[in-house]
A and B are shown apart, each in its own frame.
Chain A
Amino acid sequence: MVEKLIDFLLKSQNTDGGWGTVPGKRSQTEATALAILGLHAVKDNVTAQSLGRGLHWLIEQQQEDGSWPVTTQIRESSWSSTFAIVALTVMGSLGPQLQRGVQWLLAQKGQTASWRETLRYRWAPQTMPSLLNPSLQGWSWVPYSASWVEPTAYALIALKKLRPFLDNGHIRGRIHQGELLLYDRMCDSGGWNYGNKRVLGEILSPYPDTTAVTLVALQDRQTESANQRSFQALVKMLEQTHSGLTLSWAVICSSLYGQKSTSWQTLLTESYKRTGFLDETKPTSLALLALVDERVSAFRV
């Protein structure tokens, strides 16, 4: 299967050096960064040239403000910058591009609510449509909008990976605030969904892929009871969910938490046989990481 995944990535690389979300689509930052991480985990002569072209595309796409757009045609700053930062870090490209990327990332702050909403949360949280602490600040999908779980988790992975090089009070503060937000958004049963644990009084369920990504972002706090409970929630959810994206993140998470994931790897292989991961670059790249990189160095912080 690993050979097939590598072959798919090599063949689906666009002529500009990037990868689209599926073959034939314009190159996209998230897909390209993940393909680079996947091929980097293989590290052989066959992938070297492809990796170089991918990295070149990534560096070329960086914008003046240090961010990356979603795709080549859309020039607005985007959440996918975090993937570019992780890819540059893993590739050892610690130059000015990375510094500008991190500066942009640190400048991004999800919008907090008004003082009225903050008071409401403090004194009458049951009256809020969505039960969440509105004063916590993580990262948003779109600049100048609300904080959500996934972009905050991605940002934490990027910043935590860079801590050995860029540790300072500001970065520590943003990481701490981001962690508080993630724990605040955790579902009652453990685990995370897109970012709401209760809406209009109804308890919402977690998603396995988001749970695994968030646990990866919180890997340095894995002994905390919230992490343990969420890991158990992930195990339970995986009894029902057997997709490439979810299983790949779960295997990566499991490795980082020192847990065995042999059965999930088997399911991952079966999922690929069944659907080919819909020819999507993202699960293909993550599966490569999950199956090849035992240390999961790409996402280890």
Chain B
Amino acid sequence: MNRRKFLATSLTASLTPLLPGCSRSQNPEPPRWEQSAYRKPKHSRVAILEAKNYEIPLADIISRGIELFHLDVKGKVVVLKPNLVEYDPAGVINTHPSVIAATIEVLRNRGASKVIVAEGPGHRRDNEYLLTASGLYDVLKEYTATYVDLDNDDARPIKVNSHFTGFPWLYLPETILQADLIISMPKLKTHHWAGATLSMKNFFGIIPSAIYGWPKNPLHWAGIANSIVDINSVLPIPQFAIVDGIVGMEGNGPIQGQAKHCGTFIFGDDLVAVDATAARLMMLEPTKIEYLAYAGKFLGNVMPSQIEQVGERIESYRKDFSVIPSFEHLKTT
């Protein structure tokens, strides 16, 4: 399939009705995922741990969070995927560098053979600027950690076994494909196109912009929710999530919103459940967030009855995150 057909297919897909097809008996639509893409567990666990600010010993908290899931990283190559989409000195756009530093430290202490920090910024091509301005460069230097620009990494096409975008395959970076574990480390933020941007949307950044452009235009054309689902379904390696919810962003996220203190980390190995819990923390109804509604059918759990909540009680840390008017319907109050 050449590029014209590839994009034409994706455009057609974006115009198709957005209802899931697998469970519908009348008016049957083609299934939107293959059996091989199904990985929804019967039950999931999500942990919320308190972290009041970025100055406290974060490594202790992250270590506790990882321990709750018995995450075995010994001898493994682990890729940390923070959110480094853009930089604004007055904003809170990115995963805080202290969180990344603490995670590197914890993973090394637990025997990871290599910890790589990797990102493919969707807007900016100036990696040196993004890293130095955000403070991540100093962390990488201090910990002598490797950074990989996923936008320009070597890549190869991987067959997509869900059919939300219509892309028959997605190019994925070799750094991701060769890792043993990828940890999504998003910021707890609202998003002006998707409602919320959390651990699953964060994987937009693994799609190489050298192939898809800055911004990753074909993904937007195919629908952001559709793209989030297909990207997450195509990832062939184990995933874990650590959400930086110490200070999140409300309003016109993911770039121009306002800081919102929430004082938490959210951990989990079912990213759908992590995002659903994070949405509840932000007082957004996850079943109304389009990508979670899709993903909840076959990638992970959305319903509270299927998510075991450990650590802090969600009620104690729930914060009323404002959203732009078009997402008011997501609010639980």
Chain A positions within 8 Å of B, measured between CB atoms, are: 20-22, 25-26, 28, 30, 70-71, 73-74, 76-80, 140-146, 148, 150-151, 193-194, 199-200, 202, 205, 207, 209, 240-246, 271, 274-275, 277-278, 280, 283
Contacts and interface: CB of A to CB of B under 8 A. Distances in A.
B132 A143 contact: no
Contacts of A193: 123
21 contacts: A21-B210, A71-B155, A74-B155, A79-B213, A144-B3, A150-B125, A150-B214, A194-B124, A202-B256, A205-B88, A207-B126, A209-B129, A240-B89, A241-B129, A242-B132, A245-B125, A245-B127, A246-B129, A271-B128, A278-B127, A278-B131
A202 B255 CA distance: 11
A199 to B, nearest CB: 7
Nearest to A79: B213
Interface string B143-177: 00001010011111000000000000001000000
A194 B215 contact: yes
Contacts of B156: 73
B38 interface: no
Contacts of B133: 240-241
Contacts of B137: 275
Main secondary structure of the interface of A (DSSP, over half): loop
B324 interface: yes
B195 interface: no
Contacts of B256: 202
A26 B154 contact: yes
For chain B, the bracket of interface size reads: 35 or more
Contacts of A243: 126, 128-129, 132
Contacts of A76: 2-3, 211
A150 to B, nearest CB: 7
Given A80-B210, A199-B192, 6 more contacts: A74-B155, A74-B211, A142-B212, A144-B3, A146-B217, A205-B88
B4 interface: yes
Contacts of A205: 88
Contacts of A275: 128, 131-132, 137
Contacts of B126: 207, 209, 241, 243, 245-246
B15 to A, nearest CB: 12
Nearest to B208: A70
B221 interface: yes
The 5 closest A-B pairs by CB, nearest first: A141-B213, A243-B128, A21-B152, A243-B129, A144-B7
Contacts of A25: 152-154
A143 B4 contact: yes
A245 B217 contact: no
Contacts, number: 119
Contacts of B252: 200, 202
Contacts of B324: 200
Nearest to B123: A194
Nearest to B148: A22
Interface of B: 2-4, 7-8, 88-89, 123-129, 131-133, 137, 147, 149, 152-156, 171, 192, 209-215, 217-218, 221, 252, 256, 324
A140 B152 contact: no
Contacts of B147: 278
A100 B65 CA distance: 57
Contacts of A246: 126, 129
Given A200-B324, A207-B126, A243-B126, A144 B217 contact: no
Contacts of B131: 275, 278
A284 to B, nearest CB: 11
Contacts of A28: 152, 210
A21 B148 CA distance: 11
Contacts of A199: 192
A278 B217 contact: no
A209 B8 contact: no
Given A74-B155, A74-B171, A280 B7 contact: no
A90 to B, nearest CB: 22
A70 B211 contact: yes
Nearest to B212: A142
Contact of A142 (B89, B127, B217): B217
A73 B154 contact: yes
A193 to B, nearest CB: 7
Contacts of B217: 140-142, 145-146, 148
Given A74-B155, A243-B128, A142 B210 contact: no
A244 B218 contact: no
Nearest to B210: A70
B7 A142 contact: yes
Contacts of B218: 142, 145
A148 B220 CA distance: 14
Nearest to A21: B152
Nearest to B209: A141
A202 B129 CA distance: 24
B235 to A, nearest CB: 20
